Structure 1
Amino acid sequence: MKPKMSWLVLIISQSLLLSACSFGQPDRQQEESRSVTKPSVESEVVAQNLSIPWSIQKLGDGFYITQRTGGIVEIKDGKKSVMKTNLSRTLSARPEAGLLGFVLHPDFKMNQLAFAYYTYDDAGGPYNRVVVLKRRENQWSEEKVILDRIPGGQYHQGGRLEIGPDHMLYMTTGDATKQDKAQDLTYLGGKILRMKLDGGIPSNNPFEDSYVYSYGHRNPQGLAWDQDGELYDTEHGPNGFDEINLIEAGHNYGWPKITGDEKEESLISPLAHSGEPSWAPSGADFWKGDLLFASLAGQSVKRFNTGTQQVSDLLTGFGRIRDVLVEGDTLYFVSNNTDGRGIPREHDDKLYEVDLTSLMNEE
């Protein structure tokens, strides 16, 4: 694990880069307002003083949350502890890098296994990998690497992990700022990948002997399935023009050939896009048939109506939001105000809980 000083350098360097955007630069998350606004809804703080949280998992009444700076936070019986995470490579301190996606194995209660996605530095630049973690008492240890050398860069790491209704592991990979490579089926960046839980390539993947499920993506960070088993993603576009896509096996989602409302034969245009300014969307989940997704630059949880294909603010005033999780009529989400691009509030970052039925009553 890198010394704490490296993360101080990271925060300073990210702040200095806020004025830059476009290709090879940070997504337009700096377009957000730098003012702190009042929350639009009542909420409960489940946990606080988190360090750049990235992914939420819930098991029973407990939570597991990855932190980009390292460590997996466990919240149980109202108590928070940061569990030591033993990885075989040191986490990268580059912007948007670190310990990112995390998902529990479907048989976690029996085997104590989970999957994680993290960035490390090596000769030639940063890379991302997907590993199997095993919990032993109060720590996690890397047991097996199931996919390595996923391209990384100064920006655009991707990083979301989810297990689909088909019991396959899906992952999002960013283009690592090599935008033309998103069209290259031999390049793992700029893709949504699909694999068996043991790391094997599913026989019904769209391209023979390949993990690639869909391609032509820039920096996807949200994955969610609706009640009919259809997969949606959220992804960062260039200078705004962030996307919501309906993902189908083997399809090309156009980056960098088309963005926004542009169309081209054989390329899939988004269901909706942000235009300008940016949403900077991240984690996603479904509630009552609509896609709820975290918005960093947009400082909100947004709601995509799958019928009208319109996007609206579900709640605002908590700053930058990285991930969401829906359980019944309860929404959980984590802020990301300590990542160097937001304005930290007292005891940030936090895991929040909101009763969604109260929002319905306000409509």
Structure 2
Amino acid sequence: MPILNTKGKALTAALLLALPVSAYAADQREVEQTMERASVLTAEASQPVLLGASVSSAAEANTTVKSSSLVDSLQGGYDAAATNLKVPWSMQFAGDTVYITQRGGGIVELKNGKQTVQEVRTKKPLRVVGEAGLTGFVLDPNFAKNKYAYIYHAYEEKGQGFNRIVKVKLMHGVWREQKELVSGIPGGRIHEGGRLAFGPDGMLYSTSGDANRREHSQDLSSLGGKVLRMTKNGNVPKDNPIKNSYVYAYGLRNSQGLAWTSSGTLYASDHGPSGAPIPGGNGVDTTGLDEINIITPGGNYGWPVIQGTETAPGMISPYYVTGAAAIAPSGIAATSDNKILVATLRGESLKEFDPITKTMTDVLTGEGRIRDVAVHNGRIYVLTNNTSGGTPGPNDDRLLILK
């Protein structure tokens, strides 16, 4: 597999943040134990576990034996499909057309090589502070006919920051709000979460951050620090693990990535501690300990009670955790061979995570911060994020298509 490095900043394997490679049998036992813990939590909630919602890495291995590697097919380099983007956050595809949200407002349409910034009109004004703004975005599965999409955006109410999930419709080049699905998701300046995705079950999933108030993550009455699950109309599905609640999984800090492999396994990235002062307490957090989790219905992923490889009764430790140096994982995407591509901000690279060996390797380096990644029509698309917290180049930020 070639490591793409257009600026000559080759990284050695010694710099990678992967934990030591585990034996396959150990991997399988750990996943099975994770599933058992999640089953107990789901049973306690008196709700059925979704079929196909979680499987072991052994199942992934069976689906990858005959698959060719998308990353290994790369020859090196990329095409810059879009330039001069302003803090891009999420991308979606409608045929050959690409739509990209910008955190400060507007959705960029890339069609036939032309970039157009389209207005987003919401009933509550967009709040742009720190990490808050227009972030998550996903097209309706029937977008070609109904022109519906869903956005996650920050707003303010009585001087306090929140986030909401809104159904919008593209009408004459303008995205107009049609319906508010969920509001009151905790917000602030940091830890906003915001990734939206449709699952193989047809339900709409969303990540939410703890808004730098860690107590949200373990509080089941709060929508912060969670993976949320809802219908396209914003209703709570009857088979959600917690009755009458959008909460699908909890105990997360600032998850910004969701992806399903072909077997139906749901993976989520999560930002670990940042070395910042602890809200309401003394001292500072440790740093690093970024996570890749296998999400199961009703699962409690431990933040802030456990971190890294720590364990506690009723809590699920990360499937993969980095070391003390942060990579800050954001968007993730599954490949046809059931690997997970991971966009990293602090890590300034696109990485590939292998769920079988639990190793993470570099695919693209030297382009600065990476916010999002997608696989479309067999090609890998990457959004840089140097206009937010990085050192912008002359054409940043950009949409890159790897060769």
**What is aligned with 1:11?**
none
Alignment of 1:277-292 (within 5 A): 277-287=325-335, 288-292=337-341
CA drift of 1:93 comes to 2.1
User: What secondary structure, in the 3-state scheme, does the structure 2 residue paired with 1:311 have?
Assistant: strand
Deviations 1:276-323 (A, max 9, x none): 211111111111211001000000011110110111111111110000
User: Does the 8 Å contact 2:249/2:300 carry over to 1?
Assistant: yes
Percent sequence identity is 47
Tell me, yes or no, if the aligned pair for 2:208 and 2:224 is still in contact at 8 Å. yes
Determine if the alignment matches structure 1 residue 44 to structure 2 residue 79.
yes
Partner in structure 1 of residue 219 of structure 2: 184
Partner in structure 2 of residue 55 of structure 1: 90
2:380 match: secondary structure: strand
Match of 1:103 among 119, 128, 138: 138
Aligned counterparts of 1:217 and 1:197: Cα–Cα separation in 2 = 23
Indicate yes or no: 2:347 matched with 1:347: no
What is the CA–CA distance in structure 1 between the aligned matches of 2:164 and 2:345, rounded to whole Å?
24
The equivalent of 1:304 in structure 2 is 353
* Aligned: 1:81 with 2:81: no
- Inter-partner Cα distance in structure 1 for 2:253 and 2:226: 8
More strand by share: 1
Larger Rg: 2
Q: How does 1:307-318 map to 2 (within 5 A)?
A: 307-318=356-367
Please give the alpha-carbon distance, in whole angstroms, between the structure 2 residues aligned to 1:150 and 1:101: 13
Matched residue, 1:141:
176
Could you tell me which of 327, 333, 349 is aligned with 2:376?
327
Cα distance change on mapping 1:186 and 1:81 into 2, 3 Å: same
Q: Does 1:220 align with 2:269?
A: no
For residue 327 of structure 1, report the CA deviation from its aligned partner: 2.1
Aligned structure 1 segments of 4 or more residues deviating by more than 2 angstroms: 36-41
Contact 2:94-2:144 within 8 A present in 1 as well: no
Structure 1, unpaired ranges of 5+: 1-35, 356-363
Tell me the residue number matched to 1:256.
304
The counterpart of 2:321, out of the listed 247, 257, 273, is 273
Q: Does 1:156 align with 2:191?
A: yes
Amino acid at match of 2:261: D
For 1:274 and 1:97, locate their aligned partners in 2 and report how far apart those are by CA, in whole Å.
26
Tell me how far apart the structure 2 counterparts of residues 87 and 161 of structure 1 sit (CA, whole Å).
17
How many angstroms does 1:89 deviate by? 2.0
Does the CA contact (< 8 Å) of 1:334 and 1:352 recur in 2?
yes
Counterpart pick for 1:72 among 101, 107, 115: 107
**Worse overlay, 59-68 or 273-282:** 273-282
Give, as a single letter, the amino acid of the residue that structure 2 aligns with 1:309.
K
Equivalent pairs, count? 319
The equivalent of 1:294 in structure 2 is 343
- Equivalent residue, structure 1, for 2:232: 197
